[in-house]
Amino acid sequence: MPAFDLPRRLVAEALGTCLLVTTVVGSGIMADRLTDDTALALLGNTLATGAILVVLITIFGPISGAHFNPAVSLVFALKRDMARRDLGFYVAAQVVGGIAGTIAAHLMFDLPVIEASVTLRTGGSQWFSEWIATFGLVAVILAGIRFDQKAIPWLVGLYITAAYWFTASTSFANPAVALARSLTNTFSGIRPLDLPGFVIAELLGALCALILMNWLLRQPSTNI
């Protein structure tokens, strides 16, 4: 964990998550207004999200670790790479930051400050997609830390860019972002009723990735 005190780390997590959600929601609104082509709108949403992740992880990583994601923070707490007593504070900062990001996007586009989504996102395929999306995200982060830590911003940004398109759920992969997206009735929204299924799938995906990658990345002992 970087050598910054907890208040600074929490501000970095809140601000980073805020800017991430502002980008996800705002680019979705902009894309939806500019085109009636859903595929083109999703492409615009995808590119903006992937790009901002590279930026945010690069500038906030040295301060807080740039989790911006309760599932990622949980994994690092379980690995003891961050103090477990800090986990609740990180999650709270991420949730507050995510909600602020939705509000910021709405204010920029002259929409109601908060508006519950009516976009249906439920069912086994959606939940499995979120399991896959979060499993892959955590696997990428853990392997990246092991082999090329400087590449983490690009690895995460490129992975999410790809996962927007290869998952049926468009890869939320983040409980705080999913909660924030339930508060926008726009292109990137999700019904609040569908939120628990997503969050459970995301947490399970993160835990499964932690278990597998702990085994996969463990260097076997050699007898000489």
pLDDT band at residue 3 using 50, 70 and 90 as cut-offs? confident
Percent of the chain at pLDDT > 90 equals 96
Residue with tokens 């809140």: 14
In a 3-state reduction of DSSP, which class is residue 69?
coil
- What's this model's pTM, rounded to 2 decimal places? 0.95
> Hey, how many other C-beta atoms are within 10 angstroms of the C-beta on 85?
9
**pLDDT(1) > 60:** no
Please give the pLDDT value at position 112: 97
pLDDT band at residue 2 using 50, 70 and 90 as cut-offs? low
Long-range contacts, stretch 144-147, CB < 8 angstroms, 24+ apart: 146/217
Please give the pLDDT value at position 135: 98
pLDDT band at residue 40 using 50, 70 and 90 as cut-offs? very high
Percent of the chain at pLDDT > 70 equals 97
pLDDT band at residue 6 using 50, 70 and 90 as cut-offs? very high
Mean pLDDT, residues 43-56: 98
Please give the pLDDT value at position 88: 97
Residue 176 DSSP code: H
Please give the pLDDT value at position 221: 65
**Burial of 122 from C-beta contacts in 10 A (0-12 / 13-18 / 19+):** middle
Mean pLDDT, residues 9-35: 98
Mean pLDDT, residues 208-212: 98
Helices (H), 35-148: 38-64, 70-78, 87-108, 124-147
> Hey, how many other C-beta atoms are within 10 angstroms of the C-beta on 125?
11
Please give the pLDDT value at position 117: 97
Interatomic CA distance for residues 46 and 164, integer angstroms: 6
Interatomic CA distance for residues 55 and 178, integer angstroms: 21
Q: Are 172 and 179 in contact (CB under 8 A)?
A: no
Please give the pLDDT value at position 219: 81
Mean pLDDT, residues 113-119: 97
Instruction: Give the tens place of pLDDT for each residue, 67-109.
Output: 999 999 999 999 999 999 999 999 999 999 999 999 999 999 9
> Hey, how many other C-beta atoms are within 10 angstroms of the C-beta on 218?
9
Mean pLDDT, residues 109-125: 97
Mean pLDDT, residues 126-134: 98
The rounded mean pLDDT for the chain is 96
**pLDDT(223) > 60:** no
Residue 130 in tokens: 């979120």
